[in-house]
Structure 1
Amino acid sequence: MTHQSTANSGISAGYYRLFAAGIINGIGDRFSQVAMLSLILQLTGSGMAVGLSLGVKLIPYLALAPLGGYLGGKLPRKTIMMATDIARIPFALSFLWVTGEDRLWLLYIGSFMLAAGEAIYAPVRKSSIPLLARRDALLRTNAMEQMLTGCVLILGALTGGFVSHWFGPQTAFVLNAVSFLGAALIISGISFPRTLPEEQEDESKEGHGTDTLAEDGADGRQSRFKSLPAVIAGSVCLQIVLGYELLVSIVSGLDNVLISVYAIRVFHAGDIGVGAFYASLGVGLTLSFWAGQLVKRNLLAAALGGLLLEGLLHIGISVTGSFAAVCGLYVLTSLVSGIGYASLDTLLMPETPARRQPLLFGLMTAAGNTLLGLSMLLAGYLLTRVEPRLMGLAGGVCFAAIAVVLGVYAWIKGRKGRKVSVLPRTP
């Protein structure tokens, strides 16, 4: 693929750099978030101020994630990622000047700008993955992405609080700024291929005779230059993946809110309980890397079956009275969720021309985060009228229902003769 490709894994050294930069960025962000929330509570004691600081982080995604996707198709991906990392450093440091309630506006502006940088960065980063790994290594690569999220949850959530408590929130803010610089330096060493994957395929077909090129190469070029709506309309697999991403985002907001509510209001475990639940999610996502290696056939069934099982596990969480048992169920929940998302990303990437991937991921990021934010607002409203366990039960039922609906959709399309990809295409 490139001179950086490793001998057997099919994953280039460039991806390992991208992975390391993601770990550093993610942990720095967790440090800053824990310290920021702690500082807000110290200065104001207001839950509304906390909610506002979290809310402003979702606003930029609606407009800027599609912009990031557009730029990723026009400019070098490495340049965009490095630029957004470096541009966020002064805003990460601006939190140091928040010394009183009268300066909270600095924190809100800083949070908005950090989120704006992430909104541009995230789709560009995700669209870089297929350029740094062969198609037969995409499942392993996407499983590593889930492990990355798990490691960030474990290391960031567990150590961020200690750093802020022992050394003060200012230290956490500085470390976040340093993490952006470190990530940019790591990304600077990535070498992307000069040609996109579909162009490489056209070149390889030229060596197999003019008949093959005339038949397959023309189809490849037509697919490459299709508009994004045409690409989606022509792929049942993409339709299912997009439906999964959007529908699950609507329900996930309920679960995100319930994690803290379960810990504090149901089990009366306080902040330690919240940390334990998030750490459990991190453990499950980390384990999904190894468990995902067992998925060899029918990635679509693995994703939808995992979502169905995730719904059943959430139902179990809603009725379980043991704190330790809920921790274990959260591990299993994130384990199957991690396998599902890795499987879906592995199906999505080969189905989408590389030129269209940045825009697709940008639109998905914008829509997913917007729906997630609205879902979290809805959860907050419902919790004033509905018992947490009942809402958790409803969320679990919704997850299971989404899996069934998408499975039926795939079956109907298959019966009508529409080919549904269940495995990543091989080059």
Structure 2
Amino acid sequence: MGHQTAIAIFKAQKGYSRLFTAGLINGIGDRFTSVAVLALVLQLTGSGMAVGISLGVRLLPYLFLAPLGGVLGSKFPRKYIMIATDVLRVPVALTFLWVDGEDKLWLLYMASFLLAAGEAIYSPVRKSSIPLLVTKNSLLTVNGLEQLMSGCVLILGALSGGIVSMWFGPKAAFVMNAISFLVAARLIYGIDLPQNTNRVNEDKRKIDSPEKIKTKVDRQQKTNKMHALWIIISGSITLQVIFGYELLVPMLNGLDNVLISVYAVQEFQAGDIGVGAFYAALGIGLSLSFFAGRYVTKGLLIVAIVGLMIEGLLLMSISISNHFVIAFLLYILLSFAGGTGNACLDTLVMRETPSTMQPVIFGLLSAVGNTLLGLSMLLAGWLLEWVDPRTLGFAEGAGFSGIAILLAGYTFVRSKKKETQRA
């Protein structure tokens, strides 16, 4: 998956190039608001609790609305769902302009909740639209591009959002976010997105034949979509491992989201600049993970599990590092391993599930992942009152490695059992 391949995809798949650009603009606009909201809350209250609430309300909608987005995406044209969520978020983004005192914080919390609600619906619909726009042979490359986009958003969005908020004030950032939604909606409007189909991807799988699964799915979709989803998952070891990954990893991942700031400020005494540098390192790693795909042609599930093991080892290394520069480089490697694994997992989900079921699956994964991530962040805040940050970070890394071993063991045992049954 090289640079020329990416350019070729953008040229050949005009629909995806517009979807990618819309996602980039949307993401940067969202970062503008995230930075500006934090600055505004601190300016008005100086309260860490207020900051925590403003972050927490952005995770709540995912529990219920991400699955709803998946259901909507399987029943209605995905293109118009994305346009609607973008347009409806324009007035919400402008609502922040009226927050001028502590007595208006409720308005800030409400607007943050509604923006996150829109993203919770938008995200699984957008992700499930990708296989409708590109060939199945391009899926891994495209999912690598998605990680590259996330890295660019993390670097450019946070950096430019901070500059805009500092030079022109938070209000300018809110207006630019509203504009970004309109631009993204216009880009998506120009996409010729195929309608939902009932086809089953014809990739090679270690499960029932495509014809057999399609018959089961078609029959069950008429009566119970969740039952149809269960049939697909129960017949695919790969999907079982992915769901196990999404249940276990976010329970620990929230710890690092909190620890990254604690390390920068308390352990390395690098202040806000250190926090920004560490987040930039994550963005650099995600961007570089795009180029890893040229060396990944098969064994995607193994690559993802090995990547998780490497993440665990790197987290343990960061927890015992005494030099800021070394920690910075380790965060780049950490994000590189995570981004490569995420691209592999997303590709596997797209290959293993029928097109009409993909919004539901991505909605469930988003709901589970973000909810557990939020709970993990709350747990991290509580644990840091009692546990040394480096000790907590080492335990998180050990947990990541343990999960990788557990998932690898499950994959091996289930695969052997399948082979025995076939024999």
**TM-score of the pair, normalised by structure 2:** 0.91
Q: Distance in 1 between matches of 2:415 and 2:122?
A: 36
Does the CA-based 8 Å contact 2:62-2:367 persist in structure 1?
yes
Indicate how the Cα distance of structure 1 residues 199 and 297 shifts in structure 2: closer, same or farther if over 3 A, else same: closer
The Cα shift of 1:222 comes to 3.2
1:360 is aligned to 361
The Cα shift of 1:347 comes to 1.1
Indicate how the Cα distance of structure 1 residues 197 and 335 shifts in structure 2: closer, same or farther if over 3 A, else same: farther
1:50 is aligned to 51
Verify: 1:266 aligned to 2:260, yes or no.
Answer: no
2:396 is aligned to 395
User: Which deviates the most, 128-137 or 375-384?
Assistant: 128-137
Q: Distance in 1 between matches of 2:201 and 2:237?
A: 25
Does the CA-based 8 Å contact 2:77-2:195 persist in structure 1?
no
Q: Distance in 1 between matches of 2:372 and 2:194?
A: 35
Q: Distance in 2 between matches of 1:141 and 1:225?
A: 32
Indicate how the Cα distance of structure 1 residues 412 and 159 shifts in structure 2: closer, same or farther if over 3 A, else same: same
User: Which deviates the most, 324-333 or 348-357?
Assistant: 348-357
Amino acid of the residue matched to residue 147 of structure 1?
L
The Cα shift of 1:88 comes to 0.5
1:414 is aligned to 415
Indicate how the Cα distance of structure 1 residues 7 and 109 shifts in structure 2: closer, same or farther if over 3 A, else same: closer
Amino acid of the residue matched to residue 305 of structure 1?
V
* Matched residue SS, 1:59: coil
Deviations 1:359-401 (A, max 9, x none): 1111111111110000000000000000100000000001111
Deviations 1:233-264 (A, max 9, x none): 11111000111122111110001010111011
2:77 is aligned to 76
Q: Distance in 1 between matches of 2:419 and 2:54?
A: 46
* Matched residue SS, 2:418: coil
Amino acid of the residue matched to residue 329 of structure 1?
L
Verify: 1:222 aligned to 2:223, yes or no.
Answer: no
The Cα shift of 1:105 comes to 1.2
Verify: 1:93 aligned to 2:94, yes or no.
Answer: yes
Does the CA-based 8 Å contact 1:131-1:197 persist in structure 2?
no
Amino acid of the residue matched to residue 79 of structure 1?
Y
Q: Distance in 2 between matches of 1:366 and 1:168?
A: 33
Indicate how the Cα distance of structure 1 residues 216 and 276 shifts in structure 2: closer, same or farther if over 3 A, else same: closer
Q: Distance in 2 between matches of 1:399 and 1:200?
A: 31
1:132 is aligned to 133
Q: Distance in 2 between matches of 1:195 and 1:72?
A: 9
Indicate how the Cα distance of structure 1 residues 234 and 48 shifts in structure 2: closer, same or farther if over 3 A, else same: same
User: Which deviates the most, 9-18 or 169-178?
Assistant: 9-18
Verify: 1:22 aligned to 2:16, yes or no.
Answer: no
1:302 is aligned to 303
Q: Distance in 1 between matches of 2:175 and 2:91?
A: 10
Does the CA-based 8 Å contact 1:236-1:418 persist in structure 2?
no
Amino acid of the residue matched to residue 362 of structure 1?
G
Does the CA-based 8 Å contact 1:77-1:125 persist in structure 2?
yes
* Matched residue SS, 1:17: helix
Deviations 1:280-335 (A, max 9, x none): 00000000001122111211111011110111001100000010111100000000
The Cα shift of 1:9 comes to 4.1
Does the CA-based 8 Å contact 1:131-1:196 persist in structure 2?
no
Q: Distance in 1 between matches of 2:161 and 2:25?
A: 13
The Cα shift of 1:220 comes to 3.3
Amino acid of the residue matched to residue 251 of structure 1?
L
Indicate how the Cα distance of structure 1 residues 340 and 199 shifts in structure 2: closer, same or farther if over 3 A, else same: closer
Deviations 1:160-188 (A, max 9, x none): 11110011110000000000000000000
Number of aligned residues: 401
**TM-score of the pair, normalised by structure 1:** 0.91
Verify: 1:123 aligned to 2:156, yes or no.
Answer: no
Indicate how the Cα distance of structure 1 residues 407 and 200 shifts in structure 2: closer, same or farther if over 3 A, else same: closer
Amino acid of the residue matched to residue 220 of structure 1?
K
Identity %, equivalent residues: 58
2:248 is aligned to 247
Indicate how the Cα distance of structure 1 residues 68 and 30 shifts in structure 2: closer, same or farther if over 3 A, else same: same
* Matched residue SS, 1:268: coil
1:65 is aligned to 66
Q: Distance in 1 between matches of 2:94 and 2:158?
A: 20
Amino acid of the residue matched to residue 300 of structure 1?
L
Deviations 1:44-75 (A, max 9, x none): 11111111111111111111111111100111
2:326 is aligned to 325
Does the CA-based 8 Å contact 1:251-1:399 persist in structure 2?
yes
2:145 is aligned to 144
1:106 is aligned to 107
Q: Distance in 2 between matches of 1:20 and 1:132?
A: 14
Q: Distance in 2 between matches of 1:46 and 1:92?
A: 23
Does the CA-based 8 Å contact 2:250-2:372 persist in structure 1?
yes
User: Which deviates the most, 92-101 or 11-20?
Assistant: 11-20
2:405 is aligned to 404
Amino acid of the residue matched to residue 50 of structure 1?
V
The Cα shift of 1:79 comes to 0.5
The Cα shift of 1:132 comes to 1.0
Deviations 1:74-104 (A, max 9, x none): 1100000000000011110010011111111
Q: Distance in 2 between matches of 1:175 and 1:392?
A: 37
**Aligned alpha-carbon RMSD (Å):** 1.8
1:160 is aligned to 161
Does the CA-based 8 Å contact 2:196-2:356 persist in structure 1?
no
Amino acid of the residue matched to residue 252 of structure 1?
N
* Matched residue SS, 1:99: coil
Q: Distance in 1 between matches of 2:281 and 2:152?
A: 11
Q: Distance in 1 between matches of 2:173 and 2:153?
A: 15
The Cα shift of 1:157 comes to 1.3
Q: Distance in 2 between matches of 1:307 and 1:9?
A: 28
Does the CA-based 8 Å contact 2:213-2:232 persist in structure 1?
no
Q: Distance in 2 between matches of 1:199 and 1:143?
A: 23
Q: Distance in 2 between matches of 1:68 and 1:114?
A: 14
Q: Which consecutive unaligned segments of at least 5 residues does structure 1 have?
A: 1-5, 202-214, 420-427
Indicate how the Cα distance of structure 1 residues 189 and 301 shifts in structure 2: closer, same or farther if over 3 A, else same: same
Indicate how the Cα distance of structure 1 residues 60 and 195 shifts in structure 2: closer, same or farther if over 3 A, else same: closer
The Cα shift of 1:417 comes to 2.1
2:223 is aligned to none
Does the CA-based 8 Å contact 1:317-1:326 persist in structure 2?
yes
Does the CA-based 8 Å contact 2:201-2:355 persist in structure 1?
no
Indicate how the Cα distance of structure 1 residues 369 and 418 shifts in structure 2: closer, same or farther if over 3 A, else same: farther
